[in-house]
Amino acid sequence: MAHDDAELSEVIVVLVDEPGMTTQDASKTLSEQGLLVSDVDEANGVVEGTIETAKIGQIKNLQFVKYVRDVFNYIADYPPGDPRNLDPAEDDLPSEADDAGA
């Protein structure tokens, strides 16, 4: 059985070249908005990371964001015990992969 705990997107955020706003400051604010930052390219004003797909619009509207490129989307199924797991009652049910081996 497929579980859909979250739809996530790997994104590249291109920042506006704005005096007074460092790439690190922008990265911190993006993180506060839900972006799990994986890379900060100070030389090019780019921040890469993963965010819930539904939150992309929020970061697109930030004043220091020039452009958001949605690179890759996927559905996450978090393991039992993970606080993000939305279907703990179904974790003990056999999966389709289990059925294929029978």
From first to last of its 102 residues, the chain has per-residue pLDDT tens of 456 667 889 999 999 987 778 899 999 999 999 999 999 999 999 999 999 999 999 999 999 999 999 999 887 776 677 666 666 666 555 555 555 555
Ordered by start, the domain boundaries in the chain are 6-100
For residues 26 and 66, the answer to whether their CB atoms sit within 8 Å is no
Q: How far apart are CA 98 and CA 84, in angstroms?
A: 23
In CATH, 6-100 is 1.10.357.20: no
CB within 8 Å of 31: residues ≥ 6 apart: 37, 49
Model pTM score: 0.73
